[in-house]
């Protein structure tokens, strides 16, 4: 079976994503979800003048009953006519995603939770717990500085019951060039006191203290679940050059003896560094995530480069879709086509056998995720 025909039907495990919205979206609201920018420009711009918009108007439009390459205005009008529930149902059904691993730690009340995503898609969904969000929920309680470490460990263990993994956004809140050592308890108590006072004064909780960020990270390690890290491509809350995963090599080395599975998400433009880390360290895995959706036809080169040195049994699939079902479909479609084209090129050059192509495709689509997250073999 050729790579292209195989990749059309192979089931996918989306090991990092967020729920879709149930809100009816105007052009401005759609653009906010379709762009990583906090200021995406005039309403309708993302559909009219972006790589993602080109894909959506070509591939999502027919599923909503429109011709390919419909205008952005036509697409937006049809989306509102059908309603969010029907749009979600149609587009998710076309992705071929069989499992959704959903990060619930950001704007959770606005998006479908895992149980709802399973109901809408007819597929399986599991939760990924965001470490920092659990700490921020504690700030609204009567927790003391002295009691923070114990309270956090208890809260995290409770939140992670039934979860498939954990996620850290230390890249957003500090950078990946963090001190890899576990912080001392006295330093955690001191930092917790300062942070809790700031939360009370500001009336809001945002965990950005470097000591506490390291503490919650190591608390996650102690639970033994796979640990996801935002890497590279993201919104304007990051400082991009500090999101290179090579900067966290010290931490990767520190947790290797503990058998902590480290999952590097998105990775662009550091996908080559991520591939190197997956090559060198047995507990490191990576994906190309949301950058695939946003790079359109350029995603072919991104996918090709991600396979240069990385072992094929360390590559994962994810969409990082947030809010829009279009992001799920675009991510799945472009990843399937990009990987298929790379494999067809290798097959044409007799670089690998058809049996290898089928095996590698199944690995990257779902087999690697099943192993990394302890789901067992495909029934």
CA distance 343 to 285: 21
| pLDDT for res 237 | 86
| Cis previous bond, 269, omega within 30 | yes
Separation of CA 138 from chain center: 25
Question: Strand, helix or coil at 323?
Answer: strand
CA distance 365 to 336: 9
| pLDDT for res 4 | 62
DSSP-derived letter for residue 296 is: G
**Cβ atoms < 10 Å from Cβ of 90:** 16
| Alpha-carbon torsion angle 14, 310, 226, 33, nearest 10 | -40
Per residue in 226-267, pLDDT (tens digit) is 999 999 998 888 999 999 999 999 999 999 999 999 999 999
Q: End-to-end CA distance of the chain, in Å?
A: 22
Phi-psi region of 45 (alpha: psi -120 to 50; beta: other; left: phi over 0): alpha
Which is the CATH superfamily of the domain at 3-22+95-372?
Answer: Metal-dependent hydrolases (3.20.20.140)
Residue 55 has φ and ψ, to the nearest 5°, of: -65, -45
Range(s) within the chain of domains with CATH label 3.20.20.140: 3-22+95-372
Instruction: Tell me, yes or no, if the pTM score tops 0.75.
Output: yes
| pLDDT for res 376 | 78
**Which parts of the chain sit beneath pLDDT 50?**
1, 379
Question: Strand, helix or coil at 79?
Answer: helix
């Amino acid at each position: 079976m050729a790579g292209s025909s195989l990749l059309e039907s192979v089931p996918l495990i989306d090991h990092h994503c967020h729920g879709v919205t149930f809100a009816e979206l105007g052009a401005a609201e759609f653009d906010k979800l379709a762009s990583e920018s906090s200021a995406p420009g005039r309403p309708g711009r993302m559909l009219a003048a972006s790589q993602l918009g080109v894909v959506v108007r070509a591939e999502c439009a027919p599923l909503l009953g429109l011709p390919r390459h419909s205008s952005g205005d036509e697409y937006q009008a049809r989306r509102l006519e059908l309603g969010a529930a029907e749009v979600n149902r149609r587009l998710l059904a076309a992705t071929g995603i069989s499992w959704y691993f959903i990060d619930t730690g950001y704007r959770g009340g606005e998006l479908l939770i895992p149980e709802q995503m399973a109901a809408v898609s007819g597929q399986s969904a599991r939760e990924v717990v965001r470490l920092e969000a659990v700490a921020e929920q504690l700030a609204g309680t009567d927790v003391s500085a002295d009691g923070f470490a114990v309270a956090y460990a208890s809260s995290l263990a409770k939140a992670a019951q039934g979860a498939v993994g954990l996620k850290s956004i230390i890249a957003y809140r500090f950078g990946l060039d963090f001190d890899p050592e576990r912080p001392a308890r006295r330093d955690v108590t001191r930092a917790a006191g300062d942070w809790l006072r700031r939360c009370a004064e500001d009336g809001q909780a945002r965990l950005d203290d470097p000591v506490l960020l390291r503490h919650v990270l190591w608390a996650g390690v102690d639970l033994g679940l796979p640990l996801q890290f935002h890497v590279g491509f993201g919104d304007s809350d990051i400082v991009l050059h500090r999101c290179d995963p090579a900067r966290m090599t010290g931490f990767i080395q520190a947790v290797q003896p503990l058998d902590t599975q480290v999952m590097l998400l998105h990775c662009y433009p550091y996908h080559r560094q991520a591939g190197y880390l997956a090559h060198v360290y047995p507990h490191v895995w990576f994906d190309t995530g949301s950058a695939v959706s946003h790079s359109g036809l350029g995603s072919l080169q991104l996918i090709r480069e991600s396979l240069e040195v990385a072992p094929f049994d360390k590559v994962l699939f994810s969409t990082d879709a947030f809010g829009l079902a279009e992001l799920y479909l675009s991510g799945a479609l472009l990843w399937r086509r990009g990987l298929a084209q790379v494999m067809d090129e290798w097959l044409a050059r007799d670089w690998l056998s058809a049996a290898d192509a089928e095996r590698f495709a199944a690995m990257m689509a779902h087999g690697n995720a099943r192993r990394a997250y302890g789901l067992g073999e495909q029934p």
